[in-house]
Amino acid sequence: MKILNKLFLILCCSVLTCQTAFSADVWLNDSRKLFENNAAIIYEINLRTFNAQDANKNGIIDFDEGEESGTFLNAVAKLDELKLKGINMIHVMPVTPVGKTKALGTAGSLYAASSFNTLNPQLKSEKSALTIDEQAMKFIAEAHKRDMRVIIDLPSCGAYDLYLQRPELFVKDRSGQPVVPSDWTDVRLLNAGTEFSINRDVYNLYKEFVDMVINLGADGIRADVATSKPAAFWKELISYSRKKDPQFLWLAEASEAWTEPVAAGAVFTPYNKLLEAGFDAYYGNFFELKNWKTPKDLYNSITNAINLQKSYATPKSVIGSFTTHDELSPMLINGQNFSEMIIWLNATLPINSYFVDGFDTGDNYIYNWANKKAIKTYTDDDYYFVHRGKMDIFNFSRSLQGNNKSLRDNFVIANGFKKTFASIMARGKFIILKSDKPNIFSYAMAYNGKTIIVIGNLDYRDYSDVTIKVPGIKNENIVIPVKIKSIPVIDKGKITEKIMPGEIQVLVVNDLELK
């Protein structure tokens, strides 16, 4: 079994390394096409930490000691690593300047935007004579050379600093005070208007952002809390961007699980209305996987994703939002098996894969200085504010690197697997397979004479002896075990085996196409 897995690793690595990067002088954006084929493998990064140089290993970037936080330029050195991991799209968290007043953390939250038409000076390398715009363009161009698209995060709110400068941009409560959305105390809610009357001041603010990122060479936008603005607002803005670049991608942070506005007086636009307005994809509700005890919710989510392809004139899609920067580290939730499950669900479902920096190496996002008094601050907050078990977006902190080689190997193999079977992910049929255990999910993806079979255990404490009905399968079929810990017994129309707590298994049947 180990020999088979090693052979498959070699196959996947060959696929990754043999694919040549785009070599033409002019990059041609194909992000929307990639999404339509469920072929995107997205990696979210915080540039401020991505390649931070923490020489003394204390977890904080000490500028007084000559250490350097993450910048557009030093991030280039890690692009080859992403390429080797199979990444073909980078989601860059906000690159706009951050607020320093009523701030969270010693560097300020990435999502507390104090400007929408300039770049965050924290991301500029002082070791280069290039302007910050030129440095950003170089980072994006270097990603393109490696056949990786770049989408930029668009913050949903404005920092308190921006409110002080331009109060007319913000929603006010009955007492005339700016509205604090949910518990995001460092930002205030922008007033984008209504479906019948768009606020042109806020629209122009976002239009300037679109102009900026397109001029830098970016391939799309991830819209933070897209539900907090009216569909008419997005429809006009997306249409504007498509006149500049027809393949410019729009990804909405939205879910069918979200049904309420972020604050009293705020707009709420459901995910389906956002897709109608022009968004190409949305987050879905896969982040609820940690709470699912039976496969029903997983099946419903996939069925909904498949139906998106048929419900709109232009195909829509969903990302594998099993873990995001808003979610607790999967390693802390249910350990390595849960993390591996997330990796292989992304690789074997008709969705676009999505991962967060540090996830693939097992980083648990625990910082020993978290929420303690800071030695030095660059905002009016003198504490190292952090959400426990989540990526730090508030301070000048270390780069994200765990040391879990097994998880990293799974990550590389799974991404290679997804590329190897790209036609099945794009055009294959999703088939639910019947199991005799309520905690076991089992499904197949079938196309062109091949079938991928996936079996997973949603019980993270106990193993299950399980029988899966697979119509037409026989013991003489050519079955390749891609990820498996025990040998299954294959008989007429069924697979019987023992599956460990939280385990996910992947098989490829080369001479069978389920209908």
Residue 85 pLDDT: 97
CA angle 46, 124, 377 (to 5 degrees): 70
Rounded distance between C-alpha atoms, residue 480 and residue 485, angstroms: 13
Q: What are phi and psi for residue 345, nearest 5 degrees? A: -65, -45
Please tell me the distance from the alpha carbon of residue 363 to that of residue 389, in angstroms, as a whole number: 9
Instruction: Determine contact, residues 457/440, Cβ cutoff 8 Å.
Output: yes
C-alpha triplet 236, 40, 395: angle, nearest 5°: 80
Residue 270 Cα distances to 210, 227, 233, 308, 448, angstroms: 23, 6, 14, 14, 36
Note whether 32 and 512 are within 8 A (CB): no
Say if residues 122 and 61 touch (Cβ distance below 8 Å): no
Q: Residue with structure tokens 């996002």?
A: 365
User: Of the candidates 342, 341, 362, which has an alpha carbon nearest to the alpha carbon of residue 457?
Assistant: 341
User: Cβ atoms within 10 A of the Cβ of 351, count?
Assistant: 26
pLDDT in tens, the chain (515 residues): 444 454 455 445 444 444 444 444 689 999 999 999 999 999 999 999 999 999 999 999 999 999 999 999 999 999 999 999 999 999 999 999 999 999 999 999 999 999 999 999 999 999 999 999 999 999 999 999 999 999 999 999 999 999 999 999 999 998 999 999 988 999 999 999 999 999 999 999 999 999 999 999 999 999 999 999 999 999 999 999 999 999 999 999 999 999 999 998 899 999 999 999 999 999 999 999 999 999 999 999 999 888 887 888 889 999 999 999 999 999 999 999 999 999 999 999 999 999 999 999 999 999 999 999 999 999 999 999 999 999 999 999 999 988 999 999 999 999 999 999 999 999 999 999 999 999 999 999 999 999 999 999 999 999 999 999 999 999 888 899 999 888 899 988 999 999 999 999 999 999 988 98
Q: Which two tokens stand for residue 141?
A: 């161009």
Kindly list the distances between the CA atom of residue 121 and the CA atoms of 48, 102, 212, 429, 435, in Å, as whole numbers in the listed order. 11, 19, 15, 48, 55
Closest CA to 393 of 333, 326, 329: 326
- Predicted pLDDT at 21: 40
Distance between CA atoms of residues 136 and 121, nearest Å: 11
Domains of the chain: 2-423 (3.20.20.80), 429-509 (2.60.40.1180)
Does the reported pTM lie above 0.85? yes
Task: Mention every residue, 6+ apart, whose C-beta is less than 8 A from residue 166.
Answer: 201
pLDDT at 15: 47
